[in-house]
Structure 1
Amino acid sequence: MRKTIIVSNRLPVKISETNGEYTLQPSEGGLATGLGSIYREGNNIWIGWPGQEITDQKDQDKVTKQLRKINLMPVYLTQDEINNFYEGFSNETLWPVFHYMAVYAHYEQSYWDAYYQVNKKFRDIIMKVAEPGDTIWIHDYQLLLLPGMIRAEMPEISIGFFQHIPFPSFELFRLIPWRAEILEGMLGADLMGFHTFDDTRHFLNAASRILPVNTSANVVSYNDRAIVVETFPMGIDYNKYAEMGKDPEVLQQVQNLRENFGNDRLVLSIDRLDYSKGILQRLQAFELLLQLHPEYIGKVVLYMIVVPSRDQVPQYKELRDEIDKQVGNINARFRTLAWHPIQYFYRSFPFETLSALYNFADICLVTPMRDGMNLVSKEYVASRSNNDGVLILSEMAGASKELIDAIIVNPNNIGAITRAIVDALNMPLPEQQRRMKQMRSVVSKFNINHWVKLFMTRLQEVNEMQKNMLARRVNQETAVLIRQQYFNSKKRIIFLDYDGTLVGFQPNIDQASPDPDLYQLLRELASIPGNDLVMISGRNHETLGEWFGHLDLDLIAEHGAWQKTKSGEWYQLPGLTDKWKKELLPIMELATDRTPGSFIEEKSYSLVWHYRKVESGLGELRANELMNTLRYYTVEKGLQVLPGDKVIEVKNVEINKGKAALSWLNHKKYDFIMAMGDDVTDEDIFKALPHKAITIKVGSQVSAAQYYLRSYHEVRHLLRTLRNRE
């Protein structure tokens, strides 16, 4: 029976031990809530670390047995692994770089080794329970290598991956020494999810610039697989927070807050201790408020909760000390006998108390320096059942892309945060309600269950898309069918493109000359009775004649502008003109002057702008600019602008590989027709040939062709099988 396997660094339980007895307490985190509906069903499983070191085998067996009853499976880690994998690589290498705080990052080989080994440990546990047909959903930055490790063991299994923290821009990500290995691991997934479009864009950019992959829109082609990268903003359990305000205990705590604070306005701040949360800047902004607006002294309180986290790590210890110092200074400077400006708590609070604070606070101040999503902002909005209150939100938090009716601030701009607090304190109730209604509608619709359903549905769609693509690959079965058709026929014609189809892609166009092996293969195929071989290329006719004129082949050069039969001379398509070149050449020269590494190739009736040597990213940018300019100038000139593999070509619209191929078919009747090509100009052949023809695209699955092969190596292998029947 098919099952879903959820994998995360931590299991959704807290384990406590008393006198050798272990008790399990369910976790209340957003992820645990959302995925509860999945892992508790049937034979589904959640795999992860139970949260503490358990070394004794008997204790491990005891805890494993307890966990299995609630569909959980533990991965036990040693203290060394916790120190180096979790505290080390995850939190001292990945966390600071991914949160744009690279100055805090440590690049230790021992951290990386532990990270690799623990990801392998997770893989081994998964392999014990995973079966063909299962779905695996891996979560977050601690397990970036895991998708690739599982893919290597089970190539056909369905794998989803979601990252809950930001993904940094290429310039930061490239600082990590093991950046290529990390990307290769992530690309083991079929569907990859991020909170924001920025994160998705950064990942695609990093993948295309670090690895030899092709990216088109949000699809990465890697190892003969299409991986989809999409944005899925995570939600919360809206109903839980909306209804908690009616709970008797919460209502009592709200009443207690009312008695304690009277008419004071409450500004709420809740964070985990971390340098990415912008806590110090928030304190500075509140201090500036009291300095510039003394009228708020005695009337506004900052209620600040900081949840303890890693406070033995030097940066975190320093941060805590600095927070203590700033809070102490502000309170000492502004307090009165009856009023303290900041109520500061360095501890976690029960859910009921947080709910009471969400319901009572006039303002919620959420200003992280960088955050994947930030669910506190959504929890506050969901709790405001009267549609009042104001949310001040950092533009660096993923939630700011959805909660656009909050007051959005730059967390580095202390003055802007101060002004935002003043605006919030003075905001009329109708304006508060207008904004809050809009935000509550968004949080209600895009809740945690919606997020889970959306991701799982999309993963199924991606798997279907991949199956459809795989069905068209020339596998052993289809190769046998092609051979049967070929050997059962008497008159055969094979159209072959050259660059990218028979030879690999070279940075220098003059280096892609034929090798002895290719010459031998073409000679043997051309010598078989009944075979007509046609080389149909975008190359200029002089080069094609020089390379292949001595072989028993027909040649079509410059996409059909020049043609030559085996024994004949070159002749050109009638009615063509090259007068348009004078107007378009300066436009291409301007693009070449602005783009180091690019160059122009001039053919008889076309101009080609090459950018294969240009820095990745810049070439694509200039190519898009040039395409737009050329389309404007060519629209009424009977010219065609064609994007290819690192090239843009402008040619007469009459020149078309499809038309050229059809003219060859008019001379003779063939009972076997095959065409192979790798770029956009070859699509004209695939579309023009009769339905019975065998058409094969090289290097890409997106095509009008019936089949595809991955590389020129596979093309040569298939052609070799056509030399004899054995």
Structure 2
Amino acid sequence: MTVFVVSLFLPYTIDFEAKAIKHGRKASGSQSPPQVEGRLPESRRHRRPKSLAMTPGATTDHEKIFKPFYAAQYAAELPCADDPNGPGPNEPRSVSWGLSRKFNQPKSKAALHPEPSILSRPDPGDGLGTKPFVDGIAEAHDSEEEHGSPRVLLSDEDWVVKAAEHGNGGLRNAINAASDAGILPDKTWVGTLGMPTDSLKEHTRKSIAEKLQDEFESLTVFVNDSEFEGHYSHFSRTVLWPAFHYQVQESPRHKEYDDHSWRQYVRVNEAFADTIAARWKPGDSIWVHDYHLLLLPEMLRKRLPEAEIGFYMHAAFPSSEIFRCLAARRALLGGLLGADLIGFQTDEYCHHFLQTCSRLLSLEVSAEGIQYKNRFICVKKFPIGIDPKSLDEARQSPEVKEWVSKIRERYEGKHLIVARDRLDAPGGIKQKLLAYEIFLKRYPKWRENVVLIQVASSQSELPELEAQVSKIAMRVNSVYSTLTHQPLVLLKQDISFSQFLALMTVAEVFMVTSLREGMNLTGHDYLQCQDGKFAPERYGSLILSEFTGSASIFSGHDLLVNPWDYQQCAEAIDFALEMSPEQKQKNWEFLINKMAPHNAVSWCESYLKTLSDARSAQLARELNLVSSLSTEMLKETYTRASRRLVILEDECILASNAIKRTATALDALLHDPKNVVYVTSNKTPEQLESVLTEMPVGAGLIAENGCFLRETGKSEWERLLTIDSTKDWMEGIRKVMQYFQERTDGSRIEERHCSLTFWYKDARDPEVAARRASELADQINGSRGSEPIRAVLTKGAVTVEPTQVTKATAAERVLERASQKPDFVFVVGGARGDEVLFNWANRLGQEGKVQDVVTVTVGTHPTEAKAALTGNTTITDALASLKLTNGDSAE
């Protein structure tokens, strides 16, 4: 069985051999074999790129310690893909598409794209048209002066596969660790090369694809440059990423931009679906990753109905109020719901997703998942982690040890604080520097012996933010620097993984203060680096934003902060520095123990097992895969039983076209002394008694989905819930329902003894009513607190019912009180409330408590029942087929 690991970027890319630098229209050596036009990477340019900058106005040697890295970085290439000395195991890789810093690659041939903002659109009459886009930045000129990227001729035949610098490093690390552990013996990566490919000839594409598949377990998805640029640089980066991280657009976009980027997003997802569908075989599993491919699960479900499909979101998932602002919200949710299992990093993100599906799609949701188009999609959290083994191996390299020595020597006697974040709005660098400024102002004793090294990885796509960060850094250093000390080192360029490991090893404090982020594994890396191997009996402190996914793992940590509360962050820095060695060790042990269960291998193993279980459960519930009831088998098991329990849903017997024949068959069952018969219903006791007037007397009754029980041979009803247990919550829920009922014409409220129902099936405006019903269900489920209730959203109604009792709990009460235990249990139903009853009965058989169990559904939705009434067989036929122990026919 192959597991297709699907992400936008492959772990590999291609580096081409440069033949000649192109000057104007001609180039020396242009008579070489097949060539394509490309750009030299920064490692081969003669001048340092503009993005390489350190703290403005920096003059001290403390900051210059990192300069040797830059010289090395731009003089050496990334090792080959199969080189063990490639990028570090947990090093984040997120580099702009088409702008590789280390490889010779083709120039993008993407067509012109509309500007993202109305405010920056050119005058239609100026003759300029729209500007091309590269990673969200308008490109006005294609010149070496503007980009510092000389154009070259690249060989179309001489190329090598190398480890990619872009993509999700945490995912790759987890998959590699799982493969080494034997959890993924047969895997195939699926993704793009992360570079422009329009210039490549067909035979070159074919050769690249074959080599990657044969030698690197990778399936390459080729899309044209315009589609990829629209998908990634436009829709993914400027629409989805900000929304998922609670960033409101400051500049308004326009319809032309949104429509164009959305079409490209769809096409790239379709290209992935076509590539996978062409290689998938029965038994294979498909694991889709991250927000770039939200539409892919549904596309695959349409092409491969029987496939096992999982999706995992590595980013945060916003609240429904944010997600509803997306124009393509329904399509995006529908795309995700093609999966069998949807995984998120925290319970909070799971809740947001379930809430969004309830409110925007009016779907029936529960804590376990979503009911959608006769399918149940499991939704669960799977916190991703690091691979300590590979991280420890990387820490033993000579480069890391050398950098540890250099940094310690440079910052001897200083309290070193380290942080590494993306230079974008969610990264929170601006807020962190403001908090650090307050810290220096409020706690003067630290001013001359504390240093914050802030690494701002990735070039900023927000020039205004970059300018603000630079201004704050200049102000801090101008106020608090001395001739021998600089309190802030701002590196607006990523550093090598060896340097980062060394910094984490030496740092006394590590700050992760993102405004909104997924798991953020850098904090995990830091804790692992503080295990005492390089500095015995010294443990560092982690200051962590409560808005990161890791905060859910480290709940109870003393240094969880609100990054918007600058005062709190400043106090946290002081607290971290003031702690005694014993307290620091205690805090570290607390965090490392919390982190230990959530490593890369356990994450992968847990997800794949849950995916397999979810798919198996889905197949078991699909009605078209449930076997038809065999009346011969039913008759055989019924006849050999010495004691029987028969449970029938009221709608099954009352909906029969041959009501008199059904009553006759039921009467025959009741007169057999071996039988105990019960009728279940969601109706009140009074309602149930009134509708059964045409049925024979003698059956036990279960009303209001298990809230009331009337045993066989008795006339009194037993309430299985006390009045007090329902009185408190019903009063409050009634007021909430009345609020929605007053604002929804045609709706009504039905009150029963133990439940309340908001009926909106007859509302004058069905669309508005459905939206309000979703809001009602979500509001009740989200605010119920410790109340043992749940709101169930179905077509036309929202029912709030208790969770302490079900039809199964009432049936279990019947079984416990039986003088003789049955060896045959027969359950027939079709309502949602019968599913828990089917599950209960099936477990009796699986656990050996009852010899023969038959569960039958007459419904049309996915079911726990083991058989279904199909074709011309009716419940009357099933009952009439049973032979009585006295030899007479039930007919």
TM-score, normalisation: structure 1: 0.77
Q: Deviations over 1:74-99 (max 9, x none)?
A: 11232322232112221122111111
Mean Cα deviation higher: 61-70 or 141-150: 61-70
1:363 is matched with 509
Alignment partners' CA distance in 2, 1:226 and 1:462: 9
The residue identity in structure 1 corresponding to 2:735 is D
Corresponding position: 1:618 with 2:618: no
Q: Which residue among 600, 616, 622 is the counterpart of 1:448?
A: 600
Alignment partners' CA distance in 2, 1:584 and 1:694: 32
Alignment partners' CA distance in 1, 2:785 and 2:226: 51
The residue identity in structure 2 corresponding to 1:425 is L
Decide whether aligned partners of structure 1 residues 684 and 574 sit closer, same or farther in structure 2, where only a CA change above 3 A counts: farther
2:737 is matched with 595
Q: Which residue among 842, 846, 859 is the counterpart of 1:698?
A: 859
Corresponding position: 1:296 with 2:296: no
1:678 is matched with 831
The residue identity in structure 2 corresponding to 1:7 is V
Alignment partners' CA distance in 2, 1:679 and 1:153: 30
Q: Contact conserved, 1:218 with 1:230, CA < 8 A, in 2?
A: yes
Which structure dedicates a bigger proportion of its chain to helix? 1
1:424 is matched with 576
Alignment partners' CA distance in 1, 2:648 and 2:194: 60
Alignment partners' CA distance in 1, 2:194 and 2:451: 36
Pairing of 1:98-497 with structure 2 (within 5 A)? 98-103=244-249, 108-309=258-459, 311=460, 313=461, 316-386=462-532, 387-403=538-554, 404-405=556-557, 407-470=559-622, 473=623, 475=625, 477-478=627-628, 481-482=630-631, 497=649
Decide whether aligned partners of structure 1 residues 546 and 275 sit closer, same or farther in structure 2, where only a CA change above 3 A counts: same
Corresponding position: 1:60 with 2:200: no
Corresponding position: 1:646 with 2:783: no
Decide whether aligned partners of structure 1 residues 238 and 541 sit closer, same or farther in structure 2, where only a CA change above 3 A counts: closer
Decide whether aligned partners of structure 1 residues 172 and 476 sit closer, same or farther in structure 2, where only a CA change above 3 A counts: closer
Alignment partners' CA distance in 1, 2:374 and 2:383: 29
Q: Contact conserved, 2:830 with 2:858, CA < 8 A, in 1?
A: yes
1:23 is matched with 160
Shift of 1:24: 2.4
Shift of 1:682: 9.3
The residue identity in structure 2 corresponding to 1:275 is A
Alignment partners' CA distance in 1, 2:217 and 2:343: 25
Decide whether aligned partners of structure 1 residues 406 and 484 sit closer, same or farther in structure 2, where only a CA change above 3 A counts: closer
Q: Deviations over 1:46-74 (max 9, x none)?
A: 01011101112233223223322211121
Shift of 1:464: 3.5
Q: Aligned Cα RMSD in Å?
A: 4.7
Decide whether aligned partners of structure 1 residues 462 and 581 sit closer, same or farther in structure 2, where only a CA change above 3 A counts: closer
The residue identity in structure 2 corresponding to 1:34 is A
Shift of 1:39: 6.8
Shift of 1:346: 1.6
Alignment partners' CA distance in 1, 2:423 and 2:854: 66
Alignment partners' CA distance in 2, 1:577 and 1:617: 32
The residue identity in structure 2 corresponding to 1:609 is L
Q: Contact conserved, 1:204 with 1:218, CA < 8 A, in 2?
A: no
Alignment partners' CA distance in 2, 1:653 and 1:357: 57
Q: Contact conserved, 1:536 with 1:657, CA < 8 A, in 2?
A: no
2:194 is matched with 51
Corresponding position: 1:35 with 2:34: no
2:709 is matched with none
Q: Deviations over 1:191-218 (max 9, x none)?
A: 2211111111211222233334333332
Decide whether aligned partners of structure 1 residues 537 and 624 sit closer, same or farther in structure 2, where only a CA change above 3 A counts: farther
Q: Contact conserved, 1:16 with 1:23, CA < 8 A, in 2?
A: yes
Q: For structure 1, which runs of at least 5 residues remain unmatched after alignment?
A: 503-513, 562-571, 630-643, 663-670
Q: Contact conserved, 1:278 with 1:369, CA < 8 A, in 2?
A: yes
Q: Contact conserved, 1:374 with 1:398, CA < 8 A, in 2?
A: yes
Decide whether aligned partners of structure 1 residues 594 and 253 sit closer, same or farther in structure 2, where only a CA change above 3 A counts: closer
Mean Cα deviation higher: 607-616 or 671-680: 671-680
Shift of 1:720: 11
Alignment partners' CA distance in 1, 2:688 and 2:624: 28
Shift of 1:444: 4.6
Q: Which structure carries more relative contact order (alpha carbon 8 Å, separation 6+)? A: 2
Shift of 1:264: 2.2
Q: For structure 2, which runs of at least 5 residues remain unmatched after alignment?
A: 18-153, 533-537, 640-645, 670-678, 704-712, 742-747, 761-772, 791-796, 816-823, 845-849, 882-891
The residue identity in structure 2 corresponding to 1:369 is L
Shift of 1:445: 4.5
- The number of residues matched between the two structures is 655
Decide whether aligned partners of structure 1 residues 153 and 381 sit closer, same or farther in structure 2, where only a CA change above 3 A counts: same
Q: Deviations over 1:623-670 (max 9, x none)?
A: 8887679xxxxxxxxxxxxxx9715499x999x9989x99xxxxxxxx
Alignment partners' CA distance in 2, 1:339 and 1:27: 38
Shift of 1:395: 1.0
Q: Contact conserved, 1:81 with 1:114, CA < 8 A, in 2?
A: yes
Shift of 1:144: 1.0
Alignment partners' CA distance in 2, 1:628 and 1:303: 51
Q: Contact conserved, 1:38 with 1:44, CA < 8 A, in 2?
A: no
Alignment partners' CA distance in 2, 1:653 and 1:295: 64
Q: Deviations over 1:126-172 (max 9, x none)?
A: 01211110011111011111111111222222122111111111221
Q: Contact conserved, 1:496 with 1:677, CA < 8 A, in 2?
A: no
Q: Tell me the percent identity.
A: 25
Q: Contact conserved, 2:806 with 2:836, CA < 8 A, in 1?
A: no
Q: Which residue among 863, 867, 872 is the counterpart of 1:707?
A: 867
Q: Deviations over 1:214-239 (max 9, x none)?
A: 33332323233332222111111213
The residue identity in structure 2 corresponding to 1:30 is G
Alignment partners' CA distance in 1, 2:229 and 2:553: 36
Q: Contact conserved, 2:437 with 2:476, CA < 8 A, in 1?
A: yes
Q: Contact conserved, 1:90 with 1:141, CA < 8 A, in 2?
A: yes
Look up the SS of the partner of 2:485 in the other structure: coil
Alignment partners' CA distance in 2, 1:296 and 1:187: 53
Look up the SS of the partner of 2:426 in the other structure: helix
Alignment partners' CA distance in 1, 2:467 and 2:159: 35
Alignment partners' CA distance in 2, 1:229 and 1:213: 14
Look up the SS of the partner of 1:102 in the other structure: coil
Q: Contact conserved, 1:592 with 1:600, CA < 8 A, in 2?
A: no
Decide whether aligned partners of structure 1 residues 608 and 337 sit closer, same or farther in structure 2, where only a CA change above 3 A counts: closer
Look up the SS of the partner of 1:269 in the other structure: strand
Alignment partners' CA distance in 1, 2:14 and 2:632: 63
Shift of 1:366: 1.2
The residue identity in structure 2 corresponding to 1:222 is Y
Shift of 1:334: 2.4
Alignment partners' CA distance in 2, 1:407 and 1:395: 9
Look up the SS of the partner of 1:277 in the other structure: coil
2:2 is matched with 3
Q: Contact conserved, 2:427 with 2:513, CA < 8 A, in 1?
A: yes
2:674 is matched with none
Decide whether aligned partners of structure 1 residues 546 and 268 sit closer, same or farther in structure 2, where only a CA change above 3 A counts: closer
Alignment partners' CA distance in 2, 1:475 and 1:79: 43
Q: Contact conserved, 1:538 with 1:559, CA < 8 A, in 2?
A: no
Alignment partners' CA distance in 1, 2:205 and 2:552: 44
Q: Deviations over 1:399-442 (max 9, x none)?
A: 12223546211100111111111122222222222222333344
Shift of 1:8: 0.2
Decide whether aligned partners of structure 1 residues 406 and 5 sit closer, same or farther in structure 2, where only a CA change above 3 A counts: farther
